[in-house]
Amino acid sequence: MAALLSVEEITLRFGGIVALDGVSFEVEAGHIAGLIGPNGAGKTTAFNVITRLYAPDQGRLEFDGRSLLETPAHRIAEHGIARTFQNVNLFTSMSVLENVLVGGHRLGRGTGEKEARAMLEYVGLGVRAGDLAASLPYGLQKRVEIARALAAKPRLLLLDEPAGGLNHEGVEELGDFILRLRDDHELTVLLVEHHMGLVMRISDHVNVLGSGRKIAGGTPADVRANPDVIEAYLGSEAGP
């Protein structure tokens, strides 16, 4: 299978700080790819590069064989890339339904309210359609964000710490949900997550970042056994 997304030798500096240092990885179509690493490793920064919020200093970024580096952020959705944020990033003063409507607004005619409502049903929030987005509890806001991302009919979905704030059962459910999502919507998923159990369970491939560099990549089993990965995590948080 061909790579849907390929990140090649991406370097990004903020002043003197090197946030990403020659990072390369590929995400194959139909895969769920995990992106893990200790805090500050550059995972969210990588997301921001892929969605064109940050312009890298060096490197290439290709989606479906075409370079993304000339694409402005507002056209990313058009190309078929959607994302969620680490700290939920909804249009708080708008209703849940309106949030999802905005998500699909590029698709023009035909993707109206009906599809937005269907998407809300899909994530189990049909009855909350009219509520103000800000009034929902955090966990449900995360689902609104996913519905909004899906409304754009993406081919690649970037999920930034979807398990944040969830309890054990919640994480289990989320794992099943992401797998179902991938199958139902023929998605490719790139997942940034601290919850190792979740990443190892659902990912086809895992890339590990440490201090802005890629330190490992492979199947969950490979990564788990990699001594560099174990070292990167030692003394920080839950080991792999």
Q: What angle do CA 20, 21, 23 make, to 5 degrees?
A: 80
Alpha helices in 152-226 (DSSP H): 168-184, 196-202, 220-225
Number of residues that bind another protein (CB under 8 A): 26
Residues 207-226 that bind another protein (CB under 8 A): none
List 14, 58, 67, 89, residue binding another protein (CB under 8 A): 89
Tokens standing for residue 203: 């990912």
* Kind plus residue range of the DSSP H or E element containing 3: strand 3-14
Residues 30-69 that bind another protein (CB under 8 A): 51, 53
Parallel, antiparallel or unpaired: strands 156-160 and 188-192: parallel
Q: How far is the CB of 214 from another protein (least distance, A)?
A: 24
Q: Take residue 160 and report the two structure tokens written for it.
A: 């930034």
Q: Rounded to the nearest whole angstrom, what is the least distance from the CB of residue 170 to another protein in the complex? A: 21
The least CB distance from residue 35 to another protein, in Å, is 18
Is residue 80 near another protein by the rule CB under 8 A?
Answer: no
Q: Which of residues 137-176 bind another protein (CB under 8 A)?
A: 148, 152
Rounded Cα distance, 48 and 32, in Å: 19
66-67/58-63 β-pairing = antiparallel
Tell me: does residue 91 bind another protein (CB under 8 A).
Answer: yes
3 touches another protein (CB under 8 A): no
Taking CB under 8 A as the criterion, the residue among 55, 67, 75, 135 binding another protein is 75
136 is a contact residue toward another protein (CB under 8 A): no
82 forms bridges with which residues in the sheet? 157
Q: Does 185 bind another protein (CB under 8 A)?
A: no
Q: Does 129 bind another protein (CB under 8 A)?
A: no
Does residue 76 bind another protein (CB under 8 A)?
A: yes
Please list the alpha-helical segments (H only) found in the chain: 43-50, 76-79, 96-103, 113-122, 138-151, 168-184, 196-202, 220-225, 227-233
Neighbours of 110 (CB within 10 A): 8
Does position 118 interact with another protein (CB under 8 A)? The reply is no
Of 75 and 180, CB closest to another protein: 75
Length of the chain: 240
Residues 98-117 contacting another protein, CB under 8 A: 98, 101-103, 105-106
Binding site for another protein (CB under 8 A): 51, 53, 73-78, 82-83, 85, 87, 89-94, 98, 101-103, 105-106, 148, 152
